[in-house]
Amino acid sequence: MEHEQLVKVMRSAKGRFVKVITETAPVSPAEMARRVAKAAASVAPDAKAAIPMVKTLSTRTDERGWTISVVQIVGQLDKHYGEDGFHIGKDGGLSFSLVGGAPEEYGFATACPYSGKEGASCEMRGKRHAHRSVRADRVQEVIIAGESFA
Protein backbone atom coordinates (compact mmCIF):
# COMPACT_ATOMS: atom_id res chain seq x y z
CA MET A 1 0.00 0.00 0.00
CA GLU A 2 1.43 3.40 -0.99
CA HIS A 3 2.08 5.94 1.78
CA GLU A 4 -0.34 8.51 0.36
CA GLN A 5 -3.13 5.93 0.09
CA LEU A 6 -2.44 4.67 3.63
CA VAL A 7 -2.58 8.18 5.13
CA LYS A 8 -5.85 8.88 3.27
CA VAL A 9 -7.41 5.58 4.41
CA MET A 10 -6.34 6.03 8.04
CA ARG A 11 -7.66 9.61 8.11
CA SER A 12 -11.00 8.35 6.79
CA ALA A 13 -11.38 6.21 9.93
CA LYS A 14 -12.25 9.40 11.88
CA GLY A 15 -11.73 7.84 15.30
CA ARG A 16 -13.22 4.45 14.48
CA PHE A 17 -11.40 1.25 15.28
CA VAL A 18 -9.35 -0.12 12.40
CA LYS A 19 -7.88 -3.53 11.70
CA VAL A 20 -4.39 -3.46 10.19
CA ILE A 21 -2.67 -6.48 8.65
CA THR A 22 1.08 -5.92 8.61
CA GLU A 23 4.39 -7.74 8.51
CA THR A 24 6.89 -7.32 11.33
CA ALA A 25 10.57 -6.59 10.93
CA PRO A 26 12.78 -9.69 11.22
CA VAL A 27 13.45 -10.52 14.88
CA SER A 28 16.62 -12.32 15.98
CA PRO A 29 16.44 -15.15 18.54
CA ALA A 30 18.24 -12.91 21.08
CA GLU A 31 15.74 -10.07 20.52
CA MET A 32 12.85 -12.53 20.82
CA ALA A 33 14.20 -13.67 24.20
CA ARG A 34 14.49 -10.02 25.31
CA ARG A 35 10.88 -9.36 24.25
CA VAL A 36 9.61 -12.39 26.18
CA ALA A 37 11.43 -11.18 29.30
CA LYS A 38 10.05 -7.65 28.84
CA ALA A 39 6.49 -8.98 28.43
CA ALA A 40 6.88 -11.06 31.60
CA ALA A 41 7.92 -7.89 33.47
CA SER A 42 4.97 -5.89 32.07
CA VAL A 43 2.06 -8.05 33.19
CA ALA A 44 -1.12 -5.99 33.34
CA PRO A 45 -2.75 -5.30 36.70
CA ASP A 46 -5.60 -7.72 37.44
CA ALA A 47 -4.81 -9.59 34.22
CA LYS A 48 -7.24 -12.47 33.76
CA ALA A 49 -7.75 -12.72 30.02
CA ALA A 50 -6.05 -10.66 27.36
CA ILE A 51 -7.96 -8.56 24.86
CA PRO A 52 -6.84 -9.48 21.33
CA MET A 53 -5.46 -6.14 20.08
CA VAL A 54 -2.62 -8.05 18.40
CA LYS A 55 -3.07 -11.45 16.81
CA THR A 56 -0.34 -13.37 14.99
CA LEU A 57 -1.68 -14.72 11.70
CA SER A 58 1.47 -16.49 10.52
CA THR A 59 5.21 -16.70 11.09
CA ARG A 60 8.16 -17.70 8.98
CA THR A 61 11.91 -17.86 9.46
CA ASP A 62 14.35 -16.18 7.12
CA GLU A 63 17.73 -17.55 6.00
CA ARG A 64 19.42 -16.17 9.16
CA GLY A 65 16.96 -17.92 11.47
CA TRP A 66 15.16 -14.68 12.35
CA THR A 67 11.38 -14.67 12.80
CA ILE A 68 9.05 -12.60 10.61
CA SER A 69 5.37 -12.51 11.55
CA VAL A 70 2.24 -11.33 9.82
CA VAL A 71 0.04 -9.77 12.50
CA GLN A 72 -3.40 -8.24 12.81
CA ILE A 73 -3.58 -5.14 15.02
CA VAL A 74 -6.91 -3.62 16.07
CA GLY A 75 -7.14 -0.15 17.57
CA GLN A 76 -7.70 3.56 17.05
CA LEU A 77 -5.13 5.99 15.72
CA ASP A 78 -3.10 7.33 18.64
CA LYS A 79 -3.35 11.13 18.34
CA HIS A 80 -0.46 11.51 20.81
CA TYR A 81 1.79 11.70 17.73
CA GLY A 82 -0.16 14.47 16.03
CA GLU A 83 -3.51 15.15 14.45
CA ASP A 84 -3.29 12.33 11.92
CA GLY A 85 -1.39 9.86 14.14
CA PHE A 86 1.59 9.53 11.77
CA HIS A 87 5.20 10.12 12.79
CA ILE A 88 8.75 9.30 11.74
CA GLY A 89 9.83 6.11 13.51
CA LYS A 90 13.17 5.34 15.19
CA ASP A 91 14.47 3.86 11.94
CA GLY A 92 13.52 6.95 9.91
CA GLY A 93 10.49 5.42 8.19
CA LEU A 94 6.91 6.69 8.22
CA SER A 95 4.97 5.03 11.05
CA PHE A 96 1.67 5.38 12.84
CA SER A 97 0.58 4.30 16.27
CA LEU A 98 -2.59 2.52 17.34
CA VAL A 99 -4.04 2.37 20.84
CA GLY A 100 -6.39 -0.39 21.89
CA GLY A 101 -7.02 -3.13 24.40
CA ALA A 102 -3.97 -4.63 26.08
CA PRO A 103 -2.91 -7.79 24.25
CA GLU A 104 -1.38 -11.05 25.31
CA GLU A 105 2.25 -11.06 24.25
CA TYR A 106 4.45 -14.13 24.41
CA GLY A 107 2.01 -15.70 26.88
CA PHE A 108 1.65 -12.68 29.18
CA ALA A 109 -1.23 -10.16 29.41
CA THR A 110 0.54 -6.80 29.08
CA ALA A 111 -0.58 -3.17 29.26
CA CYS A 112 0.77 0.38 29.07
CA PRO A 113 2.78 1.10 32.25
CA TYR A 114 1.66 4.76 32.24
CA SER A 115 -2.12 4.27 32.46
CA GLY A 116 -3.50 6.13 35.45
CA LYS A 117 -0.14 7.72 36.35
CA GLU A 118 -0.54 11.36 37.30
CA GLY A 119 1.00 13.68 34.73
CA ALA A 120 1.47 10.96 32.11
CA SER A 121 -0.18 11.29 28.70
CA CYS A 122 -2.08 8.08 29.50
CA GLU A 123 -3.33 9.29 32.89
CA MET A 124 -6.98 9.25 31.77
CA ARG A 125 -6.82 6.02 29.74
CA GLY A 126 -8.08 2.71 31.09
CA LYS A 127 -5.78 0.26 32.88
CA ARG A 128 -5.95 -2.31 30.10
CA HIS A 129 -4.78 -0.32 27.07
CA ALA A 130 -1.64 -0.63 24.96
CA HIS A 131 0.11 1.19 22.12
CA ARG A 132 1.51 -0.37 18.97
CA SER A 133 3.61 1.41 16.37
CA VAL A 134 3.23 0.21 12.77
CA ARG A 135 5.75 0.86 10.00
CA ALA A 136 3.72 2.25 7.07
CA ASP A 137 5.64 0.44 4.33
CA ARG A 138 4.92 -2.97 5.90
CA VAL A 139 1.12 -2.58 5.91
CA GLN A 140 -0.63 -5.13 3.70
CA GLU A 141 -4.27 -4.28 4.38
CA VAL A 142 -6.46 -1.92 6.42
CA ILE A 143 -10.06 -2.79 7.27
CA ILE A 144 -12.46 -0.08 8.46
CA ALA A 145 -16.08 -0.98 9.26
CA GLY A 146 -15.80 -4.14 7.18
CA GLU A 147 -14.37 -2.36 4.12
CA SER A 148 -10.96 -3.59 3.00
CA PHE A 149 -8.22 -1.34 1.61
CA ALA A 150 -5.14 -3.10 0.24
- Hey, which residues does 74 pair with through a beta bridge? 19
Where do the domains of the chain lie? 3-145
Rounded CA separation 1/139 (Å): 7
Q: What is the pLDDT of residues 101-149, one digit of tens each?
A: 877 777 777 778 887 788 888 888 877 788 888 999 999 999 999 999 9
pTM confidence score: 0.82
Give the chain's end-to-end CA distance (angstroms, integer): 6
